[in-house]
């Protein structure tokens, strides 16, 4: 299936203006986020003088208030509308980002961090549910692959834009980032208002129905190890990169460029294969590319690890989002997308806490190579779990 239609220069019919607008919103939100957020720790630690522990608390509060609350954002989107929920979310993040540069009072900083997280918890499931509603079911995997590409493009270009701002320009950068999210809330006005099916079940009943979908739950749980491993890009992999190459600034650029270049060809190769088979194959690839680091930490073994993580991101994330779009009832799209994010919340949190503890432990006993062996073995858990998935047939969305 081609990315463009037979009419040269035109986008395929399933990519209407509203779908393109949502992809633009996703790109600019990722671009702005990664332009601003990497400067937070440096500013509050080195310029303002807060401890590293307090800076870690700021970042943890933002993550928890977004990833842990996203299911509520999904429930809300199903009830008041995708457009309205996204608009409120963008406004909240805009106010939160701008506030981080306007205050140095600890409690106000925490409140601002919570606002930024809650904003993401609202607009993220709302936009994904809206994109699903606007796209023909047979094109979900393609459009979510495109979303993965534009998100990674924002991830690459955002930090490059942030380099133009010096440490003393944090106030300007925070207000600019906040202003861009307010601008996104204005852009949301141009999205069509999706017609929501009437809701007859309560939030509790809807949550119960989601948990009873065994295949969905197993696939969601099986993504936890991937997010655990992916989080090492922020935590332990930069340490290894500094040792073997003298710098860690290139690792994100490498991963995201791989995704941008190979996401679409990989989609064409995998789109007709069963989701559990794709998950199992992806974890075997990640396993194979983590093991060399357990033998020796060299540049070539690190590049293999990064490539394995990139392949996992290219296969697991868009395939899973397409699956969620396929099995979620129309009246519960937001709730399913919000609940599916629990894998990232749990895996990311454990990746930071348990990942850091494990790395420190193995370094302390002079066996850092065993950390990578432990990560490799961790990939076997979802492989075992995924063999059970095939016994549960998904319930199709209404």
DSSP of 62-77, one letter per residue?
Answer: HHHHHHTTHHHHHHHH
Give the pLDDT band of residue 391 (cuts 50, 70, 90).
Answer: low
C-alpha closest to that of 106 among 66, 64, 61? 61
Look at 305-314, 345-354, 386-395 and tell me which has the smallest mean pLDDT.
386-395
pLDDT value, residue 16 = 76
Look at 94-98, 235-239, 377-381 and tell me which has the smallest mean pLDDT.
235-239
**Which residues of the chain does CATH 1.20.1250.20 include?**
14-196, 208-398
Please, where are the H alpha helices in the chain? 17-36, 40-42, 52-67, 70-80, 82-102, 106-134, 140-162, 170-187, 203-212, 214-222, 224-230, 237-245, 251-270, 275-295, 299-327, 333-340, 342-364, 369-378, 380-389
Give mean pLDDT, residues 75-82: 89
C-alpha closest to that of 167 among 251, 41, 287? 41
Give mean pLDDT, residues 362-366: 88
pLDDT of 1 over the 50 cut:
no
Query: How many whole angstroms separate alpha carbon 234 and alpha carbon 295?
Result: 22
Give mean pLDDT, residues 39-61: 80
pLDDT tens digit string along 158-197? 888 888 887 678 999 999 999 999 999 999 988 887 766 6
pLDDT value, residue 388 = 72
Q: Vertex 332, ends 226 and 150: CA angle to 5°? A: 50
pLDDT of 4 over the 50 cut:
no
pLDDT of 269 over the 60 cut:
yes
Identify which of 51-55, 105-109, 194-198 has the greatest average pLDDT.
105-109
* CATH architecture of the domain with range 208-398: Up-down Bundle (1.20)
Give the pLDDT band of residue 90 (cuts 50, 70, 90).
Answer: very high
Give the burial string for 384-395 (b: 16+ CB within 10 Å, else e).
ebbeebeeeebb
Residues 343, 227: contact at Cβ < 8 Å? yes
Give the pLDDT band of residue 22 (cuts 50, 70, 90).
Answer: very high
Q: Which residues touch 239 (CB under 8 Å, ≥6 apart)? A: 248, 359
pLDDT value, residue 127 = 93
Give mean pLDDT, residues 50-61: 78
> In the numeric block, which tokens belong to residue 241?
């990169």
Max intra-chain CA distance, the chain: 63
pLDDT of 6 over the 70 cut:
no
Query: How many whole angstroms separate alpha carbon 265 and alpha carbon 225?
Result: 25
Percent of the chain beyond pLDDT 90? Answer: 40
Give the pLDDT band of residue 12 (cuts 50, 70, 90).
Answer: low
Identify which of 64-68, 87-91, 244-248, 265-269 has the greatest average pLDDT.
87-91
Fold type of domain 14-196: Growth Hormone; Chain: A; (1.20.1250)
Rounded to two decimals, the pTM is: 0.81
């Amino acid at each position: 299936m081609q990315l463009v239609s037979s009419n040269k220069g035109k986008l395929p019919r399933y990519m209407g203006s509203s779908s393109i607008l949502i992809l633009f919103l996703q790109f600019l939100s990722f671009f702005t986020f990664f332009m601003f957020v990497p400067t937070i720790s440096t500013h509050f630690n080195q310029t303002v003088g807060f401890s590293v522990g307090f800076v870690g608390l700021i970042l943890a509060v933002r993550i928890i208030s977004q990833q842990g609350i996203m299911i509520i954002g999904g429930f809300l989107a199903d009830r008041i509308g995708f457009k309205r929920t996204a608009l409120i979310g963008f406004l909240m993040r805009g106010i939160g980002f701008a506030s981080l540069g306007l205050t140095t009072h600890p409690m106000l900083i925490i409140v601002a961090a919570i606002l930024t997280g809650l904003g993401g918890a609202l607009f993220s499931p709302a936009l994904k549910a809206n994109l699903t509603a606007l796209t023909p079911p047979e094109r979900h995997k393609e459009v979510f692959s495109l979303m993965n590409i534009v998100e990674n493009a924002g991830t690459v270009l955002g930090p490059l834009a942030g380099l133009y701002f010096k440490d003393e320009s944090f106030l300007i950068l925070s207000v600019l980032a906040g202003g861009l999210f307010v601008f996104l809330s204005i852009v949301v006005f141009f999205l069509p208002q999706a017609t929501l099916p009437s809701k007859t079940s309560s939030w509790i009943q809807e949550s119960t129905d989601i948990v009873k979908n065994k295949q969905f739950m197993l696939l969601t749980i099986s993504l936890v190890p991937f997010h655990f491993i992916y989080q090492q890009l922020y935590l332990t992999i930069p340490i290894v990169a500094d040792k073997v190459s003298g710098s860690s600034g290139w690792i994100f650029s490498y991963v995201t460029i791989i995704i941008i270049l190979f996401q679409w060809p990989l989609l064409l190769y995998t789109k007709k294969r069963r989701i559990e088979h794709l998950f199992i194959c992806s974890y075997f690839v990640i396993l194979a590319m983590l093991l060399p680091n357990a033998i020796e930490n060299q540049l070539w073994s690190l590049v293999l690890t990064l490539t394995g993580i990139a392949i996992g991101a290219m296969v697991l994330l868009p395939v899973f989002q397409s699956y969620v779009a396929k099995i979620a009832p129309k009246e519960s799209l937001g709730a399913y997308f919000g609940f599916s994010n629990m894998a990232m919340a749990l895996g990311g949190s454990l990746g930071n806490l348990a990942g850091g503890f494990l790395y420190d432990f193995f370094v302390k006993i002079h066996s850092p190579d065993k950390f990578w062996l432990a990560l490799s073995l961790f990939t076997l858990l979802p492989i075992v779990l995924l063999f059970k998935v095939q016994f549960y047939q998904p319930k199709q969305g209404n």
